[in-house]
Amino acid sequence: MKVVIFAGGVGTRLWPLSRKKTPKQFEKIVGDDSTLQLAVKRLYPQISPKDIFISTGKIYKNLVLSQLKEIPKENIIGEPEKKDVGPAVCLMMGILARMTSNEPVLILWSDHLVLREERFKKLIFAAEEIVKKEQNKIIFIGQKPRFASDNLGWIEKGEVIKKVDSIRFFQFCGFKYKPDKLLAEKYFSSDKYCWNLGYFISTPIFIYNLFKRFSPKIYGLTEKILSSFGKKDFFDKFEKNYSKMPEINFDNAILEQLDKNFAYVVVDDIGWSDIGAWEALKEALQQNKEDNITKGEVLLKDSKDNLVYSFNQKKLVVGIDLENILVVDTQDILLISKKTSVSKIKKLVESFSGTKYEKFT
């Protein structure tokens, strides 16, 4: 099985840790490894480094190389400019279709946390067995919901279709995009819904042909790019044609038009979290809501429900009688906010554009 990990996002919701020069996936948010390194390490030893591919921005290629020295250099594809996930997926599927068209491919993201790695592996390898036999299928991997999230997409599942080693695969009934709170509560109380992680397993040629059918412009430009793959003029054609790509995500380009009969869903509690925002990171790491989550030299007294991250090793951060507070201390920025106000961070950072604060983005 091949694996493609997408690592091209910027992640302003995790500012000031995540910046344009070093986005969140390259930062040590949990433990001593970046989330990109964690995404790769959890595949070992069953998946070899030579079978792992990284899709990132051209400007981040050296960062990827420095953090993932074991991954072959030719497996790291740097897009010349950001065009959302649709064109990026098409490009990677086109490359793999030329290498190994019917070998299963697993699609992952670089900025997620998976705490139950063995459960995760059981799911992906069970799904691989199905795709080996049914090459024109997509299997979506879902997380059993922990709460009624209105910030995540959901998947509706139907009856059990197949079993592999006691792992159940369900009928795919459709996506539900970021419902309001009332609808999210309804989904959470039903066993017919799970969180959509954006993870799936299929074959490169099947996904690539879906682009040919549903997004012919992206497919056509990708074919022009790959006509020179491995040749001297590849990078010139890459930049020229990629700049013409429409900005569209994979869901809009392909998945919304996918016939439900071509997909299955597999669900478990794999301890998954999208830690692309501070409140999501707090939820992922806490045992209960009143826990304090800290990193670095931090001392909290008579405090509860706080997240305090310090990246300044020469400074002790001390808090007394704090509740519902976010503190992030980097080398050049100190952010202090109510935890309930962190949704304002993204707009704040965007407002820095064209001002004296732009250098801090």
Q: Render pLDDT for 154-170 as a digit per residue (tens, 0 to 9).
A: 999 999 999 999 999 99
The DSSP line for 30-57 is: BTTB-HHHHHHHTTTTTS-GGGEEEEEE
Mean pLDDT over 226-254 rounds to 91
Q: Give the tokens for residue 125.
A: 């390898």
Does the pLDDT of residue 303 top 90, yes or no?
yes
- What percentage of residues in the chain have a pLDDT greater than 70? 100
Average pLDDT along the chain = 94
| Residue corresponding to tokens 């098409």 | 90
Does the pLDDT of residue 101 top 90, yes or no?
no
User: How far is 204 from 223, CA to CA, in rounded Å?
Assistant: 14
> b/e map of 104-115 (b: 16 or more CB within 10 Å)?
bbbbbbbbbbbe
Confidence of residue 172 (pLDDT cuts 50, 70, 90): very high
Q: What are the pLDDT digits (tens) for 15-25? A: 999 999 999 99
Q: What are the pLDDT digits (tens) for 143-154? A: 999 999 888 899
Predicted local distance difference test score (pLDDT) of residue 100: 87
Do 75 and 65 meet the contact criterion of CB atoms below 8 Å apart?
no
Predicted local distance difference test score (pLDDT) of residue 321: 98
Does the pLDDT of residue 52 top 90, yes or no?
yes
Q: Which of 93-107, 212-226, 227-241, 308-322 has the lowest mean pLDDT?
A: 227-241
Mean pLDDT over 287-312 rounds to 95
Does the pLDDT of residue 289 top 90, yes or no?
no
User: How far is 263 from 172, CA to CA, in rounded Å?
Assistant: 6
Predicted local distance difference test score (pLDDT) of residue 209: 97
Strand 334-338 and strand 298-301: the pairing is: unpaired
User: How far is 94 from 228, CA to CA, in rounded Å?
Assistant: 12
Which class in CATH covers the domain with range 2-277?
alpha beta
Alpha carbon distances (Å) from 319 to 300, 304, 337:
5, 10, 13
The DSSP line for 275-333 is: -SSHHHHHHHH-SSTT--EEESSEEEES-BS-EEEE--TT--EEEES-BSEEEEE-SS-
How big is the CA angle at 72 (ends 74 and 22), to the nearest 5 degrees?
A: 85
Does the pLDDT of residue 190 top 90, yes or no?
yes
- What percentage of residues in the chain have a pLDDT greater than 90? 84
Q: Give the tokens for residue 197.
A: 């992680």
Mean pLDDT over 49-68 rounds to 97
94: amino acid identity, one letter: G
Do 220 and 106 meet the contact criterion of CB atoms below 8 Å apart?
no
Closest of 339, 198, 336 to residue 272, by C-alpha: 198
Q: What are the pLDDT digits (tens) for 118-143? A: 999 999 999 999 999 999 999 999 99
Predicted local distance difference test score (pLDDT) of residue 41: 97
Does the pLDDT of residue 284 top 90, yes or no?
no
Strand 272-274 and strand 112-114: the pairing is: antiparallel
> b/e map of 20-52 (b: 16 or more CB within 10 Å)?
eeebbbbbebbeeebbbbbbbebbeeebeeebb
Per-domain boundaries in the chain: 2-277, 286-360
Mean pLDDT over 77-84 rounds to 92
User: How far is 41 from 110, CA to CA, in rounded Å?
Assistant: 11
Q: Is 288 exposed, middle or buried (0-12, 13-18, 19+ CB in 10 A)?
A: exposed
Does the pLDDT of residue 297 top 90, yes or no?
yes
Mean pLDDT over 193-211 rounds to 97
Number of H helices and number of E strands within the chain? 11, 17
Confidence of residue 291 (pLDDT cuts 50, 70, 90): very high
End-to-end CA distance of the chain: 38
Alpha carbon distances (Å) from 125 to 80, 151, 264, 320:
33, 29, 14, 48
The DSSP line for 147-195 is: S--SSS-EEEEEEEEEEETTEEEEEEEEEE-S--HHHHHHHHHSTTEEE
Do 220 and 260 meet the contact criterion of CB atoms below 8 Å apart?
no
Predicted local distance difference test score (pLDDT) of residue 31: 87
